[in-house]
Structure 1
Amino acid sequence: MLESLAINQRVCVIIPTYNNAKTLQRVVDAVLQYITDVYVVNDGSTDATANILSQYDQIVIINQPENRGKGKALQAGFKRALEDGFDYAITIDSDGQHYPDDIPVFLEELSKHSEPVLLIGNRDMQQAGIPGKSSFGNRFSNFWFWFETGIRLEDTQSGYRMYPLKHLPKKLYTNKFEFEIEIIVRTAWNDVLVKNIPVKVLYDPAERVSHFRPFQDFTRISILNTVLVVITLLYIKPRNFFRKLKKKSFSKFLKEDILQTQDSNEVKAMSLAMGVFIGIIPAWGFQTVLCISIAVALRWNKALAFLGSNISIPPFIPVIVFLALQIGGFLVPSDQPIHLDFDHINMEAIKIHLLQYVLGSFLLAIFASISIGLIFYLILKSASRKAKKHVE
């Protein structure tokens, strides 16, 4: 099969298994019809799994002394496959829900890509027999994967996948079912293409043994997504923004990412105003991360938000602090007078008049952001009218 598709990559199959003796042999036999390089990771099974696997001489068996979770089983398989020189690994569950005759679908898709790709089988979750909790869990996972990576998928929970072994994160932190979320999110963060391909699925309650524990595993998945969202907002989104800015000249960036975006004039004006507000309030050291994170969450213009936050560059800082202290001092009188000359505006002055500064900076931020946002909106509106007349 590999030869017929002219694939230049070495591909193996990894089958993690834990107490799936009812279906394991059927899965292994079917997989061997398509690929001869097969690894089975026995994750501490206590049923007849070991006896079944002892019948095979042509596969590699990796025995875990105790049940450590699907994530650890897959990592053990990845490590051994890498050591043996494989480039890609197809993972298939041993509970019989996946059809091994879909392996050629993965191989055919791989033959179309010259760059690394992570493929996830897209199951028909609307077909009869699919548990409602599985459909809900998949939609839940799809949403957070999109939020964390910007990639829209229809199925992020399928265990039927093809992994680019040499392009996976070097260190992975989760052990159980949440591992399959961590690895696709962090692989996408490494600029590896992640996409769905259609596969069949079978849910047979008479044979299928699920080890998913709804409360415990859903809680672990929720905690993982919370951590990934925080990393996304505080690091990944700002990182991607600066990468994009670095790749373009400033004039090209200004034209393509600010002036000619599909954002409405209202959104552009609010994005700049929000950046100005964040740039003035006392969020020292976090202004860029904060304004870009808010822009991402609200789906506003990140470039304009970043531009607005730079109102706090060094030449403007003394003016901003001075005005904030004066506004705050007017509203909250102090026993110690606030000096009016810039030479006395330093950290010591801010400490002495902290309440006045904080209150004044927020009021100044509100006034400045509304004023600048409104002026920018009027400029954009005027430019839009002129452009429309020019076209006519």
Structure 2
Amino acid sequence: MADQQSSRAELGKVLVVIPTYNERENLGPIVKRLNEALPSVHALVVDDGSPDGTGQLADEMAAADERVHVLHRTEKAGLGAAYIAGFGWALEHGYDVVVEMDADGSHAPEDLPRLLDALSDADLVLGSRYVPGGKVVNWPKRREVLSRGGNIYSKLALGAKVNDITGGFRAYRHEVLEKIRLDNVASQGYCFQIDLAWRTIEAGFEVVEVPITFVERQVGVSKMSGNIVREALWRVTKWGVRRRLEQLGLRRR
């Protein structure tokens, strides 16, 4: 245990970016669990102008706890844009490790220490539902089939040796976010997760997976939509075709 704590300390400053839109009921409990699991870690709430008062609650939490920070955005511009804004804030404020985590409780903060431990030998650690030890709890069968199918298709199209490239619980070293081009990321939803993981792999960084337990949210409404699925299918197909053309020497990198 002491060795693990020492290894985490060597990682430097860790920031967990938590995008929110109408997550007032979930935000307090998830940050409390994060603080209990890893007291030294900071959290950045990126709120997209939630009409339910999530942003106001985040401000109150930040005023009471120096480990909590808030970035207000004026409109709901999508998950990808929220994370890009959060990553930029993290780099500007000198954080060494940046973590993605949902506010709805589907990602267990108690799993984060294992992700950070794995980062000692990697540049990006993916919390994976689809490796031995990983699992999904209380998810509708349709969603699980869609998720597994999306991951299999992405793996085949991109040739990426990753089992859960769509997952949103992950930890980046700051060097990754500085090198991959964030200024031209246009993907949203879980396609954003595929996009950044694929950019990381293409840039030559070490990517590993750690098993996690993903739990369906108990409060609030999922942001998943048909448009998100269609976007992912289109973009992954396009990236896969580009990769194949490069392999055949018909397109330059």
TM-score tier (shorter): 0.7 to 0.9
- Number of the residue aligned with 2:6: 4
Aligned: 1:70 with 2:79: yes
Q: Secondary structure at the match of 1:4?
A: helix
The one of 23, 28, 33 aligned to 1:25: 28
Q: Which one is further off, 160-169 or 61-70?
A: 160-169
- Per-residue deviation, residues 256-291 of structure 1 (Å, max 9, x unmatched): xxxxxxxxxxxxxxxxxxxxxxxxxxxxxxxx439x
Cα separation, 1, equivalents of 2:110 and 2:172: 18
Cα separation, 1, equivalents of 2:135 and 2:192: 25
Aligned residue pair count: 235
Cα separation, 2, equivalents of 1:148 and 1:184: 14
**Does the Cα contact within 8 Å between 1:16 and 1:74 map onto a contact in 2?**
yes
Bigger strand fraction: 2
The one of 88, 98, 114 aligned to 1:105: 114
- Number of the residue aligned with 1:122: 128
Q: How much does 1:126 deviate?
A: 5.7
Query: Which segments of 5 or more consecutive residues in structure 2 lack a partner in the other structure?
Result: none
How large is the Cα RMSD of the aligned pairs?
2.3
**Does the Cα contact within 8 Å between 1:97 and 1:208 map onto a contact in 2?**
no
The one of 210, 226, 230 aligned to 2:222: 210
Letter of the structure 2 residue corresponding to residue 69 of structure 1: G
- Per-residue deviation, residues 53-107 of structure 1 (Å, max 9, x unmatched): 1222221100111011000000011001111112221111001111111111112
- Number of the residue aligned with 2:60: 55
Matched-pair identity in %: 26
Bigger helix fraction: 1
Q: Secondary structure at the match of 1:5?
A: helix
Taking a change above 3 Å as real, the CA distance of residues 7 and 210 of structure 1, as seen in their structure-2 partners, is same
- Number of the residue aligned with 1:310: none
Q: Secondary structure at the match of 2:149?
A: helix
Cα separation, 2, equivalents of 1:193 and 1:145: 18
Taking a change above 3 Å as real, the CA distance of residues 6 and 163 of structure 1, as seen in their structure-2 partners, is closer
Aligned: 1:195 with 2:156: no
Q: Secondary structure at the match of 2:10?
A: coil
The one of 184, 196, 214 aligned to 1:172: 184
Q: Which has the higher contact order (CA 8 A, sep 6+)?
A: 2
Taking a change above 3 Å as real, the CA distance of residues 64 and 84 of structure 1, as seen in their structure-2 partners, is same
Q: How much does 1:210 deviate?
A: 0.7
- Per-residue deviation, residues 19-47 of structure 1 (Å, max 9, x unmatched): 11121111112112314321110022111
Q: Note the 1:1-392 alignment, pairs <5 A.
A: 3-10=5-12, 11-33=14-36, 34=38, 35-56=40-61, 57=63, 58=66, 59-111=68-120, 113=121, 116-123=122-129, 127-168=136-177, 169-170=180-181, 171-177=183-189, 178-204=191-217, 206-213=218-225, 215-235=226-246, 237=247, 288-289=249-250
TM-score by length of 1: 0.56
Report the structure number with the largest CA radius of gyration: 1
Q: Secondary structure at the match of 2:224?
A: coil
TM-score by length of 2: 0.84
